[in-house]
Structure 1
């Protein structure tokens, strides 16, 4: 597909999705929101895609909502409807992808842009990346899933502090808080992230999907429910080609060749 505000390419099983409005630090307007959803939908429907990397063009990952867009300047626009139609469906799509999604955070990551990053399964950051919830700085409450994802990473009290103050924090602090998994030099960020994603793409992606379901859904489950969910998901995994291939490879003392099914 040809996009105006998103770059999309697939290499070695990894779909690289790049937010491409560098002149405004990849701020989100209607077109970018629509095209990003379409890009994730395209990746999810392509059987050759076994992992996704999300990054930004230029100096920023994503600076959040474009405040020159109609959603911000037209008082007749319902923010509730805009959040539901632009952000909620996109965050839900990202969270429910059948393959791993890794963010390569190359610069400013603010507001809804932070929501995009937190909706990814893993986050790798450049040493130059900067983070802020930002919503309170313009008199808004959190959206883009951040009120759900951030407390699960940093805890309730710290999430409130970051949301209320809108403080900017760097990649080192983000790593300390658990917001990002790894930090790289700027020149190495994309190559290291793609290398990691390509290893995931060569792995048992059905098992990865089931693993995510178990960990996310069991986060606030009772122990009996968690154990039963593990049994159900393990039954699915046990019927897969990848499980049989994994056992064969182990007994034959060779590397497995997983297919993701």
Structure 2
């Protein structure tokens, strides 16, 4: 377990568990976490004893998204960012690497299950939706609030899971929905009270772990290729480019500056208040020469 700084890895019989382990920051994504997720998935993939991979979060929730203390409040140049003028290809290369790290959960030949309690918000929803199955506590929440300002979900699994209308609803509103609504629209497989969440995950993982690895591999490849044939790679490429643009639009630059002024929690509260963002943008200082933002 000491091999990783942002997560824990353990195996019990045929089930490998990856635990996002920054509970003091709601398991927020830092620079190390995406690559460590990939490394842990590859470790499970190489282990002939493992049939199923479970991803969960330590502490109060699954994952609250990218660490906005590091990526929004921090002034000046930060990883994946540079002084203006902004270079979109540098930004793309940084975020595309993170996207592919998360997508290791999708590409793994072994089925992956996201166990969601608390919240899988913003980048946390990216991680959960790259898994094959999502099982949520009834009062857990999932969604991508930065779609309101300052982000586009780069793995873009929403449309492939929900269809165009519900995907537009989730991505355009940035709404956080609970487990019951997630199941209703087909985003999650199952929802249960939180005290029964482990049992629900163990039930599915146990069922899958009794299937030969080659059968799991073949059936997962069949379903995945159908999704990939719909243009998943191109969708992710567009989304990753647009994510960088969203963080460097007038509204995106305003949001980062506001986070530096009042802290990211207050900036998020203002962003998600329902007031027209243009009002906040109209009050922001002129952004010429402002620092580029990082991902949040």
| TM-score of the aligned structures, taking structure 1 as reference length | 0.77
Partners of 2:13 and 2:203 in 1: CA distance: 10
Partners of 2:220 and 2:13 in 1: CA distance: 22
- Which range moved further: 57-66 or 194-203? 194-203
Q: What is the CA-CA distance between 1:34 and the residue it aligns to?
A: 2.5
Q: 1:103 aligns with which of 110, 114, 125?
A: 114
Partners of 1:23 and 1:91 in 2: CA distance: 22
Q: What is the CA-CA distance between 1:79 and the residue it aligns to?
A: 2.9
Q: What is aligned with 2:8? A: 7
Q: What is aligned with 1:58? A: 59
SS at match of 2:139: coil
Q: What is aligned with 2:135? A: 124
- Which range moved further: 134-143 or 117-126? 134-143
Q: Which has the higher contact order (CA 8 A, sep 6+)?
A: 2
Q: What is the CA-CA distance between 1:29 and the residue it aligns to?
A: 0.1
SS at match of 1:139: coil
Q: What is the CA-CA distance between 1:14 and the residue it aligns to?
A: 0.2
For 1:134-165, what per-residue CA distance to the aligned partner results, in whole angstroms no more than 9, with x for missing partners? 2223322221x1x2x21122111221121111
Q: 2:99 aligns with which of 88, 101, 110?
A: 88
For 1:213-261, what per-residue CA distance to the aligned partner results, in whole angstroms no more than 9, with x for missing partners? 2123235769xxxxxxxxxxxxxxxxxxxxxxxxxxxxxxxxxxxxxxx
Q: What is the CA-CA distance between 1:195 and the residue it aligns to?
A: 3.2
Q: What is aligned with 2:233? A: none
- 1:1-261 equivalent positions in 2, closer than 5 A: 1-2=1-2, 3-70=4-71, 73=74, 74=78, 75-76=81-82, 78-85=90-97, 87-143=98-154, 145=155, 147=156, 149-219=157-227
Unmatched runs of 5 consecutive residues or more in structure 1:
223-261
For 1:47-71, what per-residue CA distance to the aligned partner results, in whole angstroms no more than 9, with x for missing partners? 1111100010111111111112258
Query: 1:221–1:17: structure 2 CA closer, same or farther, 3 Å change rule?
Result: closer
Partners of 1:41 and 1:220 in 2: CA distance: 21
Partners of 2:71 and 2:188 in 1: CA distance: 32
CA contact (8 A) 2:54 2:112 kept: yes
Q: What is the CA-CA distance between 1:106 and the residue it aligns to?
A: 1.2
Deviant stretches of 4+, over 6 Å:
none
The count of aligned residue pairs is 218
For 1:89-137, what per-residue CA distance to the aligned partner results, in whole angstroms no more than 9, with x for missing partners? 2133111111111111112111111111111111111112101112223
CA contact (8 A) 2:34 2:102 kept: no
Query: 1:7–1:214: structure 2 CA closer, same or farther, 3 Å change rule?
Result: same
Partners of 1:48 and 1:204 in 2: CA distance: 11
